[in-house]
A and B are shown apart, each in its own frame.
Chain A
Amino acid sequence: MSAVAETAPAGASGGQARTFFAVLRRDVYVTWSELPVFLAQVILQPLFLLFVFGKVLSSLGYTQNGYSDLLFPGLLALTAVITGMQTLAFPLVVEFGWTKEIEDRLLAPMATGLVAAEKVLFATMRAIIATSIMIPVGILVLGSIPWRWSGVPLLVVVLVLGSLLGAGLGLVMGTLVVPNRINIVFSLVFTPLLFTGCSQYPWPSLSRLPWFQYVTAANPMTYVSEAMRAALVPSVPHIEPWICLLVLAGALAVLMSIGVRGFYRRAID
């Protein structure tokens, strides 16, 4: 039909990219205008974990020397995953189920999947920034952090994958959960995820607690924590990085496909 051909350039991919970045700019703008809230949100929890487990307990002699070296990479993993998840899940549940704020973006001239992609990209960016902030915070709290320049490439890859993993979990949760269930889902998913992700202990050491080792192996966050340790403290026994990266890639593929499908279901009746 000639009419379709004539109007096609208006909605061509250039236009959709422009719309995509306008929506991304909106998210950045909102975060920027609420910067103290953002910082408090992302820093507080890991800061306290770091302070209590890394500083207080070791000063009092309850933890072995070197525990904070083991904990720090785990907290990087935790921050990446949790921030990615929170950034995506909570607003999404509220926007879809309650305030309907997302409608204006769903009615923007771009594919519905790109609205989901923007959410994932933004959550990933936020998680990467939040995790990066943990490095100076760690130096401040602990005095020194385990650091290996040769481990940085792996660290960066894992940081990105861990942030994406959080975003993927957030997308799945955000599209599957209805607002009046958010509290129960939060306790049922969030807390176990937080404590079975090997951020506070290395996975191989769990061989003394085999059933828990199985449980933690099912949490994809475990592989972020382990790969972070492989990058920063390779002397601590850890799961081989290539296994971690493989599992993470697989988990991401599964989560994203479920999440995007859920997003379409919520976006279009």
Chain B
Amino acid sequence: MERASLPDEQAATGSTPAPVPIAAPALPAVLVQSLVKRYPKSPVNAVDGVSFEVRRGEVFALLGPNGAGKTTTVGMLTTRVRPTSGTAAIDGLDVARNPVEARSKLAVVPQRSNLDRSLSIRDNLVFHAAYHGVGKAEARARADELLAQFGLGERAGVKPDLFSGGQAQRVMIARALMHRPQVLFLDEPSTGLDPAARLFVWDRLRELKERGVTLMLTTHDMHEAAELSDRVAIMDHGRILALDTPQALIHSLPGSTTLELSAHAPEGAGAPEGLLDALGALPDVQRVESVGEDSGQGPELRLRLYLGGPAPALLAPAAAVLERHGLQLSAVEIGTPTLEDVFIHLTGRKLR
């Protein structure tokens, strides 16, 4: 695993082919260079020299534990936090120097609801559009369309104090889309949502991606990062520890794909002589471990193989080895590492 603070262009383009530039290379949707934020009276940098770029149409996730500096990074990109040093640009526009123009290109769905409580849901959307110079008729039509799409049509006239966290989240995403932003920032878009609401939000975000909106989200949920993003930056203590596609990050972990084999042992407990060595000699197998003889229905042998390559290719050879030792394969489980394992590998800590 390369601990890179700069985006690893080569590795990333290997799995997601970049669009071929016709005339000039397109500006990245987001460009961040050596960004640092130290809050007043704080002894440490909340964001400590972060650099990355988000391509147009890409879904980019900042994955990190509480206090990693995710919200601060998004704050600097969205003109709400003044960087201590470094630069951030949206669509080629320096956000610190051109905050007004930058704001018209971006939209933010914050971690906590900031809906206007004096306005109905629909008016929240319509006034947001007005702030961004969208004409009245267009704003109304678009608000109704988005509210219907987000399953909020019937509650359009309700004020947001009566809304649950999940509903408020949906309203805020709908609001953010009112002025057709080029880059949408979502700070922990599904924290606090129930599983159904989370899937709903994920579906909406996938639709946005299909329509070519650039999404930058923060999360401390590795499933969310793996599920939605083209590339993930793993962040801790204000620094980016690794940045790549979820697959590449996972594959970079040495020997963490596992293949767990269960077999009935007819002549009693214990692995037959030479079995472990024979399995260990198979290609890509780095280590074999006996993980206990579980006594569900009769004696059972469980063996875990740590692999350096993909697990499915090893299924047939492993079954053959077992058979040669007089064992019948009864169950198979493939353990793939997750981004959580990548995080533990990088920091020695759990994500949460």
Contact surface of A with B, Cβ cutoff 8 Å: 1, 3-4, 7-8, 10-11, 15-16, 18-19, 22-23, 25-26, 29-30, 34, 99-101, 103-112, 267-269
Contact = CB atoms under 8 A, between A and B. Distances in A.
A266 to B, nearest CB: 11
B12 interface: no
B331 interface: no
Given A4-B93, A18-B133, A107 B101 contact: no
Nearest to A21: B130
Q: What secondary structure prevails in chain A residues at the interface with B?
A: helix
Nearest to B116: A101
B100 interface: yes
A26 B100 CA distance: 20
Contact of B118 (A22, A30, A111): A30
A103 B127 contact: no
A269 B267 CA distance: 71
Contacts of B175: 104
B132 A19 contact: yes
A15 B27 contact: no
Nearest to A31: B118
Say which size band chain B's interface belongs to: 35 or more
Contacts of B112: 100
11 contacts: A19-B132, A22-B133, A29-B123, A30-B118, A101-B117, A104-B114, A108-B103, A108-B132, A109-B133, A112-B99, A268-B79
A30 B119 contact: yes
B25 to A, nearest CB: 12
Given A100-B112, A109-B104, A4 B133 contact: no
Nearest to A110: B100
B52 interface: no
Nearest to A23: B131
A269 B93 contact: no
Contacts of B101: 7-8, 10-11, 109
Given A3-B93, A111-B99, 15 more contacts: A1-B92, A7-B101, A8-B101, A11-B98, A16-B100, A29-B119, A29-B127, A34-B118, A103-B110, A104-B115, A107-B78, A107-B108, A108-B103, A268-B81, A269-B81
Contacts of B91: 3, 7
Contacts of A111: 99-100
A99 B127 contact: no
A3 B27 contact: yes
A103 B93 contact: no
A26 B108 contact: no
B70 interface: no
Contact of B80 (A3, A26, A30, A106): A106
A112 B99 CA distance: 9
Most chain A CB within 10 A, of B98, B99, B131, is at B131
Contact of B92 (A4, A19, A22, A100): A4
Interface string B75-112: 10011111000000001110000111101100110101
A166 to B, nearest CB: 21
B128 interface: yes
Given A7-B93, A8-B101, A268-B82, A109 B132 contact: yes
A29 B117 CA distance: 13
A109 B133 CA distance: 9
A110 B132 CA distance: 9
A15 B78 contact: no
Nearest to A107: B103
Nearest to B127: A26
A16 B79 CA distance: 16
Contact of B130 (A7, A25, A267): A25
Contacts of A25: 127, 130
A70 B27 CA distance: 69
B13 to A, nearest CB: 24
A29 B103 CA distance: 24
Interface in B145-199: 175
